């Protein structure tokens, strides 16, 4: 199991990408040299994990016409809403009518998103091997092709550590678990459901907890990786089952078993999406998505208790794929 270096009083100065990886609880990615022929590295900074801060890495790159920021971290305090939490619409500064809908763009088997961040800056994001990579255009007008070239150029800073990280269950890497923090009340999905910040957050490996009969594999190729208990472990408000794809680490499905009260017909939040009420396998289903091609696909239903399922967009996560597999899950 991989564990990052932590609790350093000061971050090391002028640390290399390879050295920085040792302090990160996520796979750190570095742009390949060919991309760096266009962009000069102005600054890199590392925030080391401590009892008060989670780890992150930031890099500033300068070209002839653009200054861009690349921030990397493990988004582990909640499911990363909509697969692009940095592009969520801040209702205080961005009315829905003037907020562009984030645009999905394939990067290999992954899906990147391009739009405006909550500060209304041009931005893009990619969730890659569990690492959240956020790109912000600070100055200039970096074009989409350059952002996608950057994403395609990313490679692990240290391949040996990267291999250890991807074979470490998410539960063992999570900051909230290792520092015994409460759950975060950030948005989880298109549906208007959030956790309370007063609820504790506990992480387990599948073999260490048996709250209810739960399939070891769902949607054919997603295997149970970690379990997160929100609230008192003896009577939790929610249990989150985190599944990862057997061939594409970091491609996840999150199944939330909710014991606290939620409306039988859930309401949508204020982020743009499409929604439908469906009947599948005799079960009433509230279904929300952004695109039919990739998702994100989300669904809520009540079967003895409320359930919420969230699927990370990938090249194969079409509407047809989701609805076919959700039917298989509902038959269990």
Read off the CATH number of the domain in which 153 is found: 3.40.1000
Q: What is the mean pLDDT of each run of 10 residues along the chain (332 residues)?
A: 79 82 96 88 91 92 91 95 90 74 96 91 96 95 87 97 97 91 90 87 84 82 95 89 96 92 82 95 96 97 93 98 95 82
In a domain, 6, yes or no: no
Nearest in space to 284 (alpha carbons), one of 261, 268, 307: 307
In a domain, 1, yes or no: no
In a domain, 251, yes or no: yes
In a domain, 7, yes or no: no
In a domain, 199, yes or no: yes
Q: What is the pLDDT of residue 10?
A: 66
CA neighbours closer than 13 Å in the CB half-sphere of residue 325: 20
Q: What is the pLDDT of residue 11?
A: 63
The residue among 125, 145, 166 that closes a domain is 166
Same domain, 157 and 174: no
Same domain, 35 and 158: yes
The residue with tokens 């969520």 is 88
Same domain, 92 and 224: no
In a domain, 64, yes or no: yes
Q: What is the pLDDT of residue 36?
A: 87
Domain range holding 209?
170-330
In a domain, 266, yes or no: yes
Same domain, 150 and 272: no
Same domain, 264 and 277: yes
Q: Assess contact for 277 and 264: CB atoms under 8 A.
A: no
Phi, psi of 307 (to 5 degrees): -130, 145
The residue among 110, 140, 166 that closes a domain is 166
The residue among 166, 191, 218 that closes a domain is 166
Same domain, 159 and 268: no
Render the burial of 143-165: b for 16+ CB within 10 Å, e for the rest.
eeebbbbbbbbbebbbeebbeeb
Count of domains forming the chain: 2
pTM above 0.75, yes or no: yes
In a domain, 60, yes or no: yes
Same domain, 86 and 217: no
Q: What is the pLDDT of residue 9?
A: 63
Same domain, 59 and 198: no
Same domain, 162 and 183: no
Same domain, 33 and 123: yes
Same domain, 150 and 53: yes
Please compute Rg for the chain using Cα positions.
Answer: 20
Q: Assess contact for 314 and 109: CB atoms under 8 A.
A: yes
Same domain, 154 and 241: no
């Amino acid at each position: 199991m991989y564990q990052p270096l932590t609790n350093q009083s000061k971050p090391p100065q002028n640390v290399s990408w390879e050295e920085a990886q040792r302090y990160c609880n996520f796979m750190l990615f570095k742009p390949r040299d060919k991309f760096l022929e266009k962009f000069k590295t102005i600054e890199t900074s590392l925030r080391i994990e401590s009892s008060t801060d989670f780890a992150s890495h930031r890099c500033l790159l300068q070209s002839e016409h653009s200054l861009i920021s690349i921030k990397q971290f493990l988004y582990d305090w909640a499911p990363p809403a909509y697969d692009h939490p940095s592009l969520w619409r801040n209702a205080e500064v961005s009315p829905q009518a003037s907020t562009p809908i984030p645009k999905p763009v394939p990067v290999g088997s992954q899906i990147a998103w391009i739009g405006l961040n909550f500060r209304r800056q041009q931005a893009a994001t990619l969730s890659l091997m569990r690492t959240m990579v956020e790109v912000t255009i600070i100055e200039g007008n970096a074009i989409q092709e350059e952002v996608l070239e950057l994403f395609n150029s990313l490679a692990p800073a240290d391949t040996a550590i990267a291999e250890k990280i991807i074979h470490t269950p998410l539960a063992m890497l999570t900051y909230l678990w290792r520092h015994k923090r409460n759950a975060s009340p950030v948005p989880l999905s298109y549906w208007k459901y959030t956790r309370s910040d007063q609820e504790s957050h506990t992480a387990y490996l599948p073999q260490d907890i048996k709250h209810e009969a739960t399939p070891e594999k769902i949607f054919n190729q997603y295997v149970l990786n970690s379990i997160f208990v929100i609230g008192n472990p003896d009577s939790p408000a929610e249990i989150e089952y985190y599944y990862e794809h057997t061939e594409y680490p970091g491609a996840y499905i999150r199944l939330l078993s909710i014991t606290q009260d939620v409306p039988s017909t859930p309401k949508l939040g204020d982020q743009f999406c499409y929604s439908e009420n469906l009947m599948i396998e005799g079960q009433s289903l509230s279904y929300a998505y952004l695109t039919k091609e990739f998702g994100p696909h989300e669904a809520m239903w009540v079967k003895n208790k409320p359930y919420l399922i969230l699927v990370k967009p990938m090249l194969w996560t079409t509407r047809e794929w989701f609805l076919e597999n959700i039917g298989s899950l509902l038959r269990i």
